[in-house]
Amino acid sequence: GAGVSQSPSNKVTEKGKDVELRCDPISGHTALYWYRQSLGQGLEFLIYFQGNSAPDKSGLPSDRFSAERTGGSVSTLTIQRTQQEDSAVYLCASSLRILNTEAFFGQGTRLTVV
Amino acid sequence: EDQVTQSPEALRLQEGESSSLNCSYTVSGLRGLFWYRQDPGKGPEFLFTLYSAGEEKEKERLKATLTKKESFLHITAPKPEDSATYLCAVDVTGGSYIPTFGRGTSLIVHP
């Protein structure tokens, strides 16, 4: 596709349920990032995938959060047993891995835990 | 600890009133500094990358500059459509190419 695609755009879930957020990066981009953005806060790094290397999970806030990237393309962020504090916009970005090139972001998934 | 601080948090301008946004950083070594624009309900949109002190880049009414401690985003004769949140991010040497973002400056340009 022309840009980074995320789905769903909005997700409302009950506390305690599991959710899956999907990111389809720009074709050919080897780096993929997940960030979280809460109201009035900056972008909080969650996890980073680069090619076939082991992902950098240093930003995941708890073991309820996990992510995978299949075939070096589509990525899924899973949040288990959701809590109200998980409510935020989850942003995915991808970039070419030639030096430190710019990242292109999707429109985000707005997650609301009720 | 690497830090990125943006100021002011919010800025209101009249159309045509030029101003500057600041991004100051404290990092062990800078590999690159990025500016993004974010409109409500959308993901950040890339504007510029700066790599070394003294570098400048321009795009329409926007001009980004970089020193060893901070970057400025100058907005000349802004228009209402320039209203957005402007985000700054840094990529640090020795790190794993994960940009660290500031909290952003919310800009409103009144007609």
User: What CATH number does the domain containing A98 carry?
Assistant: 2.60.40.10
Which residues constitute the domain of residue A100? Answer: 5-113
Question: Is the pLDDT assigned to residue A1 strictly greater than 60?
Answer: no
C-alpha distance from A106 to closest chain B C-alpha (Å)? 6
All residues of chain B having their beta carbon less than 8 Å from the beta carbon of residue A105 are 36, 43-45
Residues 9-28 of A with CB under 8 A from B: none
Q: Tens digits of per-residue pLDDT, A25-48?
A: 999 898 999 999 998 778 999 999
Q: What confidence score (pLDDT) does residue A83 get? A: 97
Q: What is the CATH topology of the domain spanning B3-110?
A: Immunoglobulin-like (2.60.40)
Which three-class secondary structure state does DSSP give residue B93?
Answer: coil
Q: How many domains does chain A fold into?
A: 1
Mean pLDDT per 10-residue section of chain B, whose length is 111 residues: 89 97 91 94 93 95 96 97 96 79 95 95
What is the average pLDDT across A82-107? Answer: 88
Is residue A26 within 8 Å of residue A5, measured between CB atoms? no
Closest chain A residue to the Cα of B96, Cα to Cα: A56
Domain boundaries, chain B: 3-110
Residue A114 distance to chain B (closest CA, Å): 20
pLDDT digits (tens, 9 = 90+) for A37-78: 998 778 999 999 988 888 999 999 999 999 999 887 999 999
